[in-house]
């Protein structure tokens, strides 16, 4: 019930976030073209990519709720990983487009309607900041939601930069400030995107999630009474919120094995952020070859 309530809250956040940012994109792009501000147009393009990213993340959450079937035995949980990876790649493309246009404009700076830039960017601070707050709670447990939160928070910061640039142009007439701000926008997006890309790649390659301590799990398993060997310990993200683990345990007795497994599953789930656990019990100590020197 708690998980369903959480999903419902996140769905509501996406609805509001997409609606607010779509309205702002139309406003920002219109004023950007009318005023000749590349900073506004660039930021509108970035906001468009964020809206597309929100939609993809929203779709991934919806797919993650669908039941498993004979072909997709884990369901569609890993779609959230694909969404995070797609968003990172999409943002890298946007960074390239913004940077190229900014360099061209820097070589030939043109006039900008300063007050239009200041007013529209100020509206952006409110909208992007409010959208970021919608995802503040959810981003603590889901890289998918975290990506949405970081992008919206960065957008709010970028809008602050655009406002400041507008005032500088108003006071000094330095029109080259506008493309410079565009390049700064690209750098800020790159910084946020790099972390998202790294984490998405880790999940795609079935690396141990950052919120799971593999060594601590191994040490805990080895400390269990009657366990004399742990091997084939694998931990990976089934989705951006659920982590699976498989392991072989060698015990010197099979006495009360069901009770042993039940307690072990409970402890692993409670203490180590694991949601899908498979344990194979073997009697005695097994001689085996392995290239895994991490255990």
* CATH number of the domain within which 118 lies: 1.20.1510.10
Could you tell me if 153 and 179 lie in one domain? yes
Could you tell me if 256 and 188 lie in one domain? no
Could you tell me if 111 and 172 lie in one domain? yes
What is residue 284's DSSP assignment? S
Could you tell me if 192 and 219 lie in one domain? no
With respect to residue 137, please indicate whether it lies within any of the assigned structural domains: yes
pTM: 0.73
Could you tell me if 160 and 193 lie in one domain? yes
Q: What three-state secondary structure class fits 275?
A: coil
Residue 47 and residue 162: Cα distance in Å, rounded? 14
pLDDT at 287: 61
- What is the arrangement of strands in the sheet containing 227-237, beginning at the earlier edge strand? 227-237, 243-251, 276-283
With respect to residue 99, please indicate whether it lies within any of the assigned structural domains: yes
pLDDT at 267: 92
With respect to residue 295, please indicate whether it lies within any of the assigned structural domains: no
Could you tell me if 228 and 166 lie in one domain? no
Could you tell me if 161 and 21 lie in one domain? yes
Could you tell me if 171 and 235 lie in one domain? no
pLDDT tens digits, the chain, 295 residues: what are they? Answer: 445 556 666 778 888 888 888 888 888 788 778 777 766 776 677 678 778 878 888 888 888 888 888 888 888 888 888 888 887 887 788 778 778 877 887 777 766 666 777 888 788 888 888 888 888 877 667 777 877 787 787 777 777 777 887 888 888 878 788 778 878 877 877 887 788 888 889 989 999 998 899 999 999 999 998 898 999 999 999 888 889 999 999 998 888 889 999 999 999 999 998 989 999 999 876 665 544 544 4
Is 147 in contact with 35 (CB distance < 8 Å)? no
- Which candidate, 191, 168, 37, places its Cα nearest to that of 101? 37
With respect to residue 266, please indicate whether it lies within any of the assigned structural domains: yes
With respect to residue 291, please indicate whether it lies within any of the assigned structural domains: no
- Which candidate, 129, 136, 130, 143, places its Cα nearest to that of 9? 136
- Which candidate, 156, 170, 157, 153, places its Cα nearest to that of 117? 170
With respect to residue 125, please indicate whether it lies within any of the assigned structural domains: yes
Could you tell me if 121 and 239 lie in one domain? no
Q: Provide the phi-psi class of 221: left if phi over 0, else alpha when psi is between -120 and 50, else beta.
A: alpha
Could you tell me if 183 and 242 lie in one domain? no
Is 214 in contact with 223 (CB distance < 8 Å)? no
Residue 93 and residue 171: Cα distance in Å, rounded? 34
pLDDT at 47: 77
Pairing of strands 243-251, 276-283: parallel
Angle between helices 214-222 and 257-271 (to 10 degrees): 150
| CATH code assigned at 275 | 3.30.70.1350
Range of the domain at 243: 214-283
Could you tell me if 196 and 272 lie in one domain? no
With respect to residue 290, please indicate whether it lies within any of the assigned structural domains: no
pLDDT at 293: 45
pLDDT at 153: 79
Instruction: Write down how long the chain is.
Output: 295
Domain stop point among 144, 173, 204: 204
Domain stop point among 171, 204, 237: 204
**Domain count of the chain?**
2
Is 20 in contact with 123 (CB distance < 8 Å)? no
Read off the tokens for 135: 């995802």
Could you tell me if 249 and 156 lie in one domain? no
With respect to residue 294, please indicate whether it lies within any of the assigned structural domains: no
Domain stop point among 204, 224, 250: 204
């Amino acid at each position: 019930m708690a998980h369903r309530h959480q999903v419902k809250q996140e769905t509501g956040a996406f609805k509001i976030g997409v609606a607010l940012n779509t309205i702002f994109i139309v406003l920002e792009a219109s004023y950007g073209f009318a005023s000749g501000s590349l900073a506004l147009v660039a930021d509108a393009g970035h906001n468009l990519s964020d809206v597309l990213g929100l939609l993809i993340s929203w779709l991934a959450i919806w797919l993650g709720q669908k039941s498993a079937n004979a072909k997709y035995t884990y369901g569609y949980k890993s779609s959230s990983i694909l969404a995070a990876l797609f968003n990172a790649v999409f943002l890298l493309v946007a960074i390239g487009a913004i940077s190229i246009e900014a360099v061209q404009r820097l070589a030939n700076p043109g006039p900008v309607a300063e007050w239009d830039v200041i007013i529209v960017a100020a509206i952006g601070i409110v909208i992007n900041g409010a959208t970021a707050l919608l995802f503040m709670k959810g981003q603590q447990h889901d890289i998918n939601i975290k990506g949405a939160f970081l992008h919206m928070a960065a957008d709010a910061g970028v809008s602050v930069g655009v406002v400041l640039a507008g005032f500088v142009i108003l006071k000094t007439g330095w029109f080259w400030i506008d493309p410079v701000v565009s390049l700064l926008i690209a750098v800020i997006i790159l910084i946020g995107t790099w972390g998202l890309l790294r984490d998405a790649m880790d999940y795609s390659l079935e690396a141990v999630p950052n919120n799971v301590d593999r060594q601590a799990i191994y040490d805990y398993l080895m400390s269990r009474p009657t366990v004399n060997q742990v091997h084939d310990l694998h931990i990976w993200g089934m989705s951006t919120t659920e982590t699976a683990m498989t392991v072989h345990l060698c015990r010197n007795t099979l006495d009360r094995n069901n009770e042993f497994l039940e307690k072990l599953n409970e402890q692993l789930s409670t203490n180590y952020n694991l949601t899908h656990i498979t344990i194979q019990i073997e009697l005695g100590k097994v001689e085996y070859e392995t290239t895994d020197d991490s255990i």
